[in-house]
Structure 1
Amino acid sequence: MMMREQYLLFETEERRWAERVWQAFDPETRSRIIVALAEMALASLRKAPRPQAKERGDDA
C-alpha cells in the first residue's frame, strides 16, 4: 500500500507529512533507507534470544 493510499484510509496529518518527506528523497536515497532499515531489523532479530529445545517443542 502506498503512503497516499494510507493517508486516504486514515486521513491523518502525520501521514501527509511523512509522504512529503519521503517524496523529497531521490530514489537512490529511498533505496538506501530501505536497505538500512532491513539491516537494522535483521540485526535486531539476530540479537533476540533463541528459544530452547523444550520451548520449541523439540525432543532433542
Structure 2
Amino acid sequence: MDEIICRAQIAIAICYKRIVDDSIKYFAAKENQNLGVVKAKKFLASKLDLSPWAAPS
C-alpha cells in the first residue's frame, strides 16, 4: 500500500511541476503581456542634481 501512495505522490509532484512551469512560461510570454499578470520592471529615474554647480546634461 505504501508503494502505491509513493507512486501517486511522485506522479502528482511531476504533474504539478509541469503545470507550474508551463504557467510561468505562458504568463511571461511576450504575446500574453496584455493579461497584466507579469508586471514590467520599473526603472528608477536618475537623481536630480540641484547643486549650484551642476553641469548641464
Q: TM-score range by the shorter chain?
A: 0.3 to 0.5
Normalized against structure 1, the TM-score is what?
A: 0.42
Work out which of the two has the higher radius of gyration on C-alpha atoms and give 1 or 2: 2
Higher helix share: 1
Larger RCO: 1 or 2 (CA < 8 Å, sep 6+): 1
Normalized against structure 2, the TM-score is what?
A: 0.43
